[in-house]
Amino acid sequence: MQRITILGATGSIGASTLDVLARHPDQYRVYALSAHGRVDELAEQCRRFRPARAVVGSAEAAARLEQLLADLPIDVAHGEQALCEIASSPDTDTVMAAIVGAAGLAPTLAAARAGKKVLLANKEALVMSGQLFMDAVREHKATLLPIDSEHNAIFQSLPSHYARNPDAAGVAKILLTASGGPFLNRAVETLEQVTPEEACKHPNWSMGRKISVDSATMMNKGLEVIEAHWLFGAPADRIEVVIHPQSVIHSMVSYVDGSVLAQLGNPDMRTPIAHALAFPERIASGVAQLDLTEWSALQFHKPDFERFPCLALAFDALRAGGTAPALLNAANEVAVQAFLERRIGFRDIDRVVRRVMDENAHGAASSIEAVMVQDEEARRAADRIVGLLAGA
C-alpha cells in the first residue's frame, strides 16, 4: 500500500491524481492533501479520501477548513513549514509535487531530501535550483519521476538504464513537442489585443490559468526545456522544440543511429500520473485508448521565435546558467499575474521578462538562499516594470 501526499490537490494535476488513486483503492492510500486557498474544494476531497493531514496557505483558511472538517480526525495546518512536514513525513512514501510556481520549491526539495518517491509536476523546482535539486535527489537516494506529459514521454522513450548521459546512451537529441497553444495561427500583429480569456482557452489540455497563459506564450515550453536539461543531462543545443498541434505524440528521443522513439497517447494527464505512480509497473488510468485511425494527419513545425519570444528567452537563460533561470521564472510569474489582472497586455509579458533578464545580473546558484535572493530581486524588478507599463 503506497501512502501518497499531494501538494496542490485542488489543481488540475491534483484532481487527476485523485481520480487515478480512486481507481486503485487496494494499492494507494492518501496520507496528506494541500491547497492554497480553495478550502471548500479541499474539504470535499478530504471527506472523500480521508487523509490524516491537510495543509492550506493561511491561518484564516486553516480555521475555515477546521470548521468544515470538525467531525473528522484530520490534522489541519497552514504555511510553508507544514507543507515541508507533510512532504517529508515518515508516514508518506510518494509525493505528488503539483504546486504551481516558486511556492512549490521548498516542499518539493524537502521531499527529495527525505528520500521520497517524488512525482514532479512542479517544473519550477528544477528551473530555479536544478543542480541543487538533482544533488539532493542523488545524495538522499530519492526517486524522481517526471509528470509533465513531455518529460514523462521522454523518460519512457529512453533506455531503462539511462543515467543523465546522452553520449553513453547514444542519444542525439531530446525532442520536446508543443501544441503551439491557442495563438499558433493567429496573426502576430494582433497578439497585442489578446485577452486573458482567450489566452486561457488551450485547444487540447485542461489546465489552470497561469499555466494556460504560459502555454499561450510558450514560456511553459521554455521552462520545460530547462527542466529537460536537468532531468536528462542534455545541453541546450541537444534539446529541440517541435510544434505538434494535435498533441498525440507527447515527445521523442532521437538516437545517433537515426532512430526516433516516441510516446503517444490521448492528451490526458492521467496517463503520465498513472505511469509514475505505478512505475515500473502499469495500471489503468481511466484514459481512453488512442485510436490512430481517427487521425488523418499529424503535423510538425519549427517554432517561430517572433511569435513566441518567451521560448527564446528560456533558451537564453539555460545557456547563461546560474540563477538566470530563477530570474526568468520570477519575472514571468509576476508578468503573467499582472496580465491576468488586466494591468498589462499579453505581449507585455515577454517585455517584462526580457527587461528583468537584461537589467539584473545573475549569479551562481550556490544555495537555495542565493536562488531565493535572486527570485525576490527579480520580482521587485518585474513589479516596477509592470507599474511603468501599466501607467504608460
What pLDDT does 391 receive?
A: 79
Strand-strand pairing, 260-264 and 53-56: unpaired
Checking if the pLDDT of 178 tops 80, the result is yes
- Looking at residue 125, what is its pLDDT? 85
pLDDT at 206: 64
Q: What is the pLDDT of residues 103-133, one digit of tens each?
A: 889 999 999 999 999 999 988 889 988 999 9
Q: Give the count of alpha carbons within 13 A of 39, CB side only.
A: 18
User: Helix (H, G, I), strand (E, B), or coil: what is residue 7?
Assistant: strand
How does pLDDT run across 214-248, given as a tens digit for each residue?
Answer: 999 999 999 999 999 999 999 999 999 999 999 99
Give the pLDDT of residue 27: 97
Dihedral Cα 275, 105, 1, 146, nearest 10 deg: 10
With b for 16 or more beta-carbon neighbours within 10 A and e for fewer, the 134-154 pattern comes to bebbeeeebebbbbbbbbbbb
* DSSP string covering 260-308: EEEEE--S-THHHHHHHHHTTS----SPPPP-GGG-S----B---TTT-
**pLDDT tens digit string along 353-369?**
999 999 998 889 889 89
> Dihedral through CA 107, CA 82, CA 279, CA 30, nearest 10?
-160
User: Of the candidates 266, 214, 219, 272, which has an alpha carbon nearest to the alpha carbon of residue 241?
Assistant: 219
Report the distance separating Cα 329 and Cα 334, nearest Å. 9
Q: What is the mean pLDDT of residues 202-215?
A: 80
- 378 falls in which pLDDT band (50, 70, 90)? very high
pLDDT digits (tens, 9 = 90+) for 318-351: 999 999 999 999 999 999 999 999 999 999 999 9
Distance from C-alpha of 131 to C-alpha of 283, rounded to nearest angstrom:
32
Please tell me the distance from the alpha carbon of residue 69 to that of residue 239, in angstroms, as a whole number.
Answer: 47
Q: Where in the chain is the domain with CATH 1.10.1740.10?
A: 321-390
108, 113, 138: which is closest to 13 by C-alpha?
108
- pLDDT of res. 284: 97
Task: Calculate the average pLDDT of the chain.
Answer: 95
**Which of 22-36, 143-157, 198-212, 236-250 shows the lowest mean pLDDT across its residues?**
198-212
Q: Rounded distance, CA 155 to CA 298, Å?
A: 22
Q: Which residues contact 150 (CB under 8 A, 6 or more apart)?
A: 176, 177, 178, 224, 228, 250, 251
- pLDDT over 90 percentage in the chain: 88
- Other beta carbons within 10 angstroms of residue 67's beta carbon come to 11
Contacts of 284 (CB under 8 A, 6+ apart): 23, 24, 274
Query: How far is residue 10 from each of residues 6, 14, 44, 100, 146, measured CA to CA in Å?
Result: 9, 6, 10, 11, 19
* 387 pLDDT higher than 90: yes
Pick the CATH number of 321-390 from 1.10.3720.10, 1.10.1740.10, 3.10.20.600, 3.30.460.80: 1.10.1740.10
CATH superfamily of 2-146: NAD(P)-binding Rossmann-like Domain (3.40.50.720)
Query: Which of 84-88, 134-138, 205-209, 381-385 has the least mean pLDDT?
Result: 205-209
Pairing verdict, β 94-97 and 117-120: parallel
- Please report the pLDDT score of residue 198 as a whole number: 92
Q: According to the model, what pLDDT value does residue 205 have?
A: 64
Whose cell is 497553444? That residue is 181
Dihedral pair phi/psi, residue 2, rounded to 5°: -80, 135
CATH 3.40.50.720 location in the chain: 2-146
pTM of the predicted structure, to 2 decimals: 0.92
Place of cell 512514501: 93
pLDDT of the residue at 103: 84
